[in-house]
Structure 1
Amino acid sequence: MATTRRQILAGTGALGAGIAFAGSIPDVFAGTAHAQGTGGGSGYGPLLPDPDGLLDLPRGFRYKVLSREGDAMRSGEGPVPSNPDGMAAFGDSRRHNSLWLVRNHENRMDSRAPVPAVEGLTYDPRAEGGCTVLELDRHHGVRTERVGIAGTSTNCAGGHTPWGTWLTCEETEYKAGEEGYAKDHGFIFEVGFRKEHRTVPEPLTAMGRFQHEAVAIDPSNGIVYETEDAFEAPFGLFYRFLPRRPLRGFDSLRAGGVLEAMRVPEVPDLSVVTEPGTTFDGIEWVEVPDPLAAETPIRHQDFGLKGATHAQKLEGCYWGGRSVYFVSSFAKSAEGSGGDHYGQIWRYDPEDNSLTLVVIFGPESDLDMPGEEPDNIALAPSGGLMVCEDGAGVQHVYGLTRRGTVYPMARGRQNIGTPEEPEWGEFAGVTFSPGGQTMFVNCYTPGTTFAVTGPWRH
Structure 2
Amino acid sequence: MSETRQTARPAATRRQVLAGTGALGVGIAFTGAFSELFAGSAAARGRAGYGPLVPDPDGLLDLPAGFRYKVLSREGGQLPSGEGKVPSNHDGMAAFRARGGGVHLVRNHENRVTAKIPVPTVEGLTYDPMGKGGCTALTLDSRNNVLDERVAIAGTAVNCAGGPTPWQTWLTCEETEDKAGTNGYTKDHGFIFEVYGADPRRTGAVPLEAMGRFQHEAIAIDPRSGVVYETEDAFEKPFGLFYRFRPNKPLGGIGSLQAGGTLQAMRVPGVKDLSAVRETGTSFKGITWVDVPDPLAKETPIRFQDFGAGGITHAQKLEGCYWGGSSVYFVSSYAKSAEGSAADHYGQIWRYDPDRNVLTLVIVFGPDTDLQLPGEEPDNICLAPSGGLMVCEDGEGAQHVFGLTRRGEVYAMARGRQNIGTPEEPEWGEFAGVTFSPDDDTMYVNCYTPGTTFAVTGPWNG
Question: When the two structures are superposed, what TM-score results if normalisation uses the length of structure 1?
Answer: 0.93
Are residue 380 (structure 1) and residue 384 (structure 2) matched?
yes
Aligned AA for 1:37?
A
Q: How does 1:11-410 map to 2 (within 5 A)?
A: 20-30=29-39, 32=40, 34-40=41-47, 42-92=48-98, 95-195=99-199, 198-364=202-368, 371-410=375-414
Shift of the 367–395 alpha-carbon distance from structure 1 to 2, 3 Å rule, reads farther
Asked if structure 2 preserves the Cα contact closer than 8 Å seen for 1:221 and 1:246, the reply is: yes
Superposition deviation, residue 124 in structure 1? 0.3
Secondary structure of 2:254's aligned partner: helix
Asked if structure 2 preserves the Cα contact closer than 8 Å seen for 1:170 and 1:185, the reply is: yes
* Separation of aligned partners in 1, 2:439 and 2:453: 19
* Separation of aligned partners in 1, 2:427 and 2:119: 25
Superposition deviation, residue 364 in structure 1? 3.2
Aligned AA for 1:201?
A
* Separation of aligned partners in 1, 2:144 and 2:431: 20
Structure 1, 289-298 or 251-260: larger mean CA deviation = 251-260
Identity %: 73
Asked if structure 1 preserves the Cα contact closer than 8 Å seen for 2:203 and 2:254, the reply is: no
Asked if structure 2 preserves the Cα contact closer than 8 Å seen for 1:38 and 1:457, the reply is: no
Shift of the 140–342 alpha-carbon distance from structure 1 to 2, 3 Å rule, reads same
Superposition deviation, residue 208 in structure 1? 0.1
Shift of the 383–440 alpha-carbon distance from structure 1 to 2, 3 Å rule, reads same
User: Which whole-Å deviations, capped at 9, do the CAs of 1:295-351 have from their partners, x for residues lacking one?
Assistant: 000000000121110000000110000000000010011101111110101000000
Asked if structure 2 preserves the Cα contact closer than 8 Å seen for 1:343 and 1:371, the reply is: no
* Separation of aligned partners in 1, 2:299 and 2:279: 38
User: Which whole-Å deviations, capped at 9, do the CAs of 1:385-419 have from their partners, x for residues lacking one?
Assistant: 11111112111111111111000111111111111
Secondary structure of 1:28's aligned partner: helix
Secondary structure of 1:315's aligned partner: strand
* Separation of aligned partners in 2, 1:77 and 1:362: 44
* Separation of aligned partners in 2, 1:85 and 1:235: 22
* Separation of aligned partners in 1, 2:261 and 2:179: 23
* Separation of aligned partners in 2, 1:285 and 1:279: 17
Asked if structure 1 preserves the Cα contact closer than 8 Å seen for 2:56 and 2:62, the reply is: yes
Asked if structure 1 preserves the Cα contact closer than 8 Å seen for 2:153 and 2:205, the reply is: yes
* Separation of aligned partners in 1, 2:223 and 2:28: 36
Equivalent residue for 1:12?
none
* Separation of aligned partners in 2, 1:180 and 1:375: 30
* Separation of aligned partners in 2, 1:440 and 1:230: 27
* Separation of aligned partners in 2, 1:16 and 1:68: 30
> Structure 1: where are the runs of 5+ without partners?
1-14
Secondary structure of 1:250's aligned partner: coil
Give the aligned length: 439
Asked if structure 2 preserves the Cα contact closer than 8 Å seen for 1:75 and 1:146, the reply is: yes
* Separation of aligned partners in 2, 1:260 and 1:27: 26
Question: When the two structures are superposed, what TM-score results if normalisation uses the length of structure 2?
Answer: 0.92
Equivalent residue for 1:3?
none
Aligned AA for 1:205?
E
Superposition deviation, residue 199 in structure 1? 2.1
> Structure 2: where are the runs of 5+ without partners?
1-23
* Separation of aligned partners in 2, 1:322 and 1:72: 43
* Separation of aligned partners in 1, 2:72 and 2:375: 28
Asked if structure 2 preserves the Cα contact closer than 8 Å seen for 1:19 and 1:366, the reply is: no
Aligned AA for 1:60?
G
* Separation of aligned partners in 2, 1:149 and 1:281: 40
* Separation of aligned partners in 1, 2:78 and 2:317: 35
Equivalent residue for 2:431?
427
* Separation of aligned partners in 2, 1:35 and 1:84: 30
User: Which whole-Å deviations, capped at 9, do the CAs of 1:86-106 have from their partners, x for residues lacking one?
Assistant: 0000012xx221010000000
Superposition deviation, residue 369 in structure 1? 9.6
Secondary structure of 2:230's aligned partner: strand
User: Which whole-Å deviations, capped at 9, do the CAs of 1:127-164 have from their partners, x for residues lacking one?
Assistant: 10000000000110000000000000000000001111
Shift of the 22–71 alpha-carbon distance from structure 1 to 2, 3 Å rule, reads same
Equivalent residue for 1:442?
446
Equivalent residue for 1:11?
none
Asked if structure 2 preserves the Cα contact closer than 8 Å seen for 1:322 and 1:349, the reply is: yes
Asked if structure 1 preserves the Cα contact closer than 8 Å seen for 2:162 and 2:173, the reply is: yes
User: Which whole-Å deviations, capped at 9, do the CAs of 1:329-384 have from their partners, x for residues lacking one?
Assistant: 10011101111110101000000001000011244379999833111111111221
Superposition deviation, residue 195 in structure 1? 4.4
Aligned AA for 1:296?
T
* Separation of aligned partners in 2, 1:308 and 1:349: 19
Superposition deviation, residue 248 in structure 1? 0.9
Superposition deviation, residue 179 in structure 1? 1.2
Secondary structure of 1:50's aligned partner: coil
Asked if structure 2 preserves the Cα contact closer than 8 Å seen for 1:21 and 1:360, the reply is: yes
Asked if structure 2 preserves the Cα contact closer than 8 Å seen for 1:340 and 1:363, the reply is: no
* Separation of aligned partners in 1, 2:294 and 2:360: 28
